Structures are given as C-alpha cells and as structure tokens.
Structure 1
C-alpha cells in the first residue's frame, strides 16, 4: 500500500501509521479524491475535457492515489459535470 510506505519514509512510527491507516477505508479514500477533483475542477472548467482529465488525474497521482482510482474518480466527476451542463443548456418547456 503506497500510503503505508509514504508514511514510513516520512518517519512515522509503524504502529502509528498502521493505526491511522485502519481508519481509512476505500470509501473514505474515494470521497477525499472526489473532493479534491471537484474543488480543482472549478479552476480549470474553461479547458477542453481531455486537458481537464489529464490535470485532475495528475493531481490525484501527485497526492498518492493509484491510476485506477484516479481515472475512475475523474471520469465520474467529469461525467456528472457534463450532465449538469447539458441540463442547464436544455430548453425549458
């Protein structure tokens, strides 16, 4: 697990790192990634979607998220945002 290794290289005691990582679940990790992506998306909305995806995935990679999780979260958030924009642009009947 990259988080455990990262904590150890930063000098965190093994027992402390293990205790901290027990609290982190896949759901909480994904929620944190989603918050990061959503917050950053506001500042890059004017970029083309492919550039947005690259930058957001890079952000998550720099924060230590695996490529699979990063791209999955980015696709979800960008898909939701595209749907929101389509709804906003739809004519009101």
Structure 2
C-alpha cells in the first residue's frame, strides 16, 4: 500500500473545478484571476492563486453553472471568462 501512495505523489494531482475529477496536473489547464477576468495559464507561470480545469467545453459549462471560479480563485464579484471560453473553443477545434 505504501508503495502505491509514494508513486502517486511523484506527479502532482489536481481536481477539475468543473467535473470534480482528480487528474494529473499535466492533463488539466491552470486558470488564474487577473483583476476581474479569468485567464488560461497553459505554461503555469502566471502569479496568483490558480484553479484547475479540463480544457473541455463540458467542464467549463459545469464550472460556470456551479459558479466555481469565484470560489476556487477566492475572488468575489463578477468574473469575465470570455478569454477562457475563447481558449477552450480554439483548443477544441484544433484537437
């Protein structure tokens, strides 16, 4: 049992704020809040608190419905997610 636990720690695991499934961080898109906008951070370099999301329109829709961005990023008020929507749509077209 301990060997399995050590093996899972070798790669970071994060939870998608849309579907709530745990995945390797490499399979999820990091997003951050910049002022009043949620922006994608595919290189994982932007400063600030991050949240993780499958780069799929279905997970994005669930996250919007659940109002998960404000909670996960600890930001109150209306958040503009148009940049994130644009990123997910364009990524989906090229997949």
> Scaled by the length of structure 2, what TM-score is found?
0.35
Structure number having the greater helix percentage = 1
> Scaled by the length of structure 1, what TM-score is found?
0.36
* Higher-Rg member (1/2): 1
